[in-house]
Amino acid sequence: MDTRPTPPEAPPAGDGAIRRPGLLGSWPEMTYAGVLSFMRRTYTRALDGADVVVSGIPLDLATTYRPGARLGPAAIRAASVQLAELKPFPWGFDPFETLAVIDAGDCWLDAHRPHTIPGAIRDHARRILASGARMLTFGGDHYVTYPLLQAHAERFGAPLALVHFDAHCDTWPDDAPDSLNHGTMFYKAVREGLIDPAHSVQIGIRTWNDDFMGLHVLDAPTVHARGADWALQRILAIVGPRPAYVTFDIDCLDPAFAPGTGTPVAGGLTSAQALQIVRGLVPLNLIGMDVVEVSPPYDHADLTALAAAHVACDLLCVLAAQRGARR
């Protein structure tokens, strides 16, 4: 007969993505092991009680140069696990004590029937938004923002304010209704009245367009010269209280900080500049957000995926701060 004392039961730990009994809170994880949801949040398609739904849209059929962004959602999730270990810097609070965040996996796309893709993304977004949750979406190439904007404009009312971090303005002309092009989405969005150019702003731009369609452009050289805080104050002044959608193309960052992207452009923002701006967006009426264009085949040491995960984490912290989270 074994007379050794029974060891105390260990507290729950590991694989919180599938074992956590509720949507709130965090528990111990091995950062190098386990189920790879974004920041170890619960994997579920059940939307009840969720404040924010994380999902991926693994599309790169709209790229004009290097593909690979279909692998972006998985890379961002994998890079995010170390961020779930500690309270995010510089916030000093656990956003998941305030926000019920789930990872709903990826939007189903039939890559062999590309004409069905815009509708599939819209329907995916409509279902999530109908639950009352906000969306944090991972691309995929930047085209995915177009059907996401359509769904958000339906839900929150058009036109929306757009806060757009990018190397490219993505307002090049395209009047073909069925085209998949990651450089023309905001041309279409302006033409359709989805966004209001007078209250929309593009940050980090360093490509030319003869017509920026009235959007405010804070190009990369100007941000370098005048500083991140100046850029933040301009964003807040331009957008004001209007419902705002934030889209972050990772090529907003200089290739030194984000080499793994489809169309890299030298001279971009540093990760420190971009994060400083994102962390200051708490005053916005933030109704949706995405992080796009991570292309893992061109990444080095997960630099790009890690930068994207940090941006996404900070966007969640912005929402948590808006709901009263404090250190």
pLDDT tens-digit profile of 177-205? 899 999 999 999 999 999 999 999 999 99
Q: What are phi and psi of 143, to 5 degrees?
A: -55, -30
Q: Is 142 annotated as a binding residue?
A: yes
The answer on whether 249 is annotated among ligand-binding residues is: yes
Q: Measured between alpha carbons, how far is residue 108 from residues 123, 151, 174, 219, 282 in Å?
A: 10, 16, 26, 35, 32
Q: Which amino acid is located at 270 in the chain?
A: T
Residue whose token pair is 């999902």? 55
DSSP H helix total and E strand total for the chain: 9, 9
Look at residue 81 in the predicted model and tell me its pLDDT. Answer: 92
- Pinpoint the alpha helices (H) of the chain: 16-19, 72-80, 117-130, 145-156, 185-191, 220-226, 228-239, 271-279, 303-322
Q: What is the pLDDT of residues 54-85, one digit of tens each?
A: 999 999 999 999 999 999 999 999 999 999 98
Q: Which residue has the higher pLDDT, 189 or 3?
A: 189
| Averaged pLDDT score across all residues of the chain | 94
Domain ranges of the chain: 50-323
Does CATH place domain 50-323 in 3.40.800.10? yes
Q: What is the pLDDT of residue 321?
A: 98
The secondary structure of the chain in percent helix, strand, coil, rounded to multiples of 5, reads 35, 15, 45
Distance between CA atoms of residues 39 and 118, nearest Å: 28
**What is the mean predicted confidence (pLDDT) over 118-127?**
98
pTM > 0.85: yes
170 is in an annotated binding site: yes
- pLDDT tens profile 219-251: 999 999 999 999 999 999 999 999 999 999 999
Question: Could you read off the pLDDT of 305-319 as tens digits, one per residue?
Answer: 999 999 999 999 999
* Poorest-pLDDT segment among 209-213, 214-218, 294-298: 209-213
At 7 the pLDDT is 59
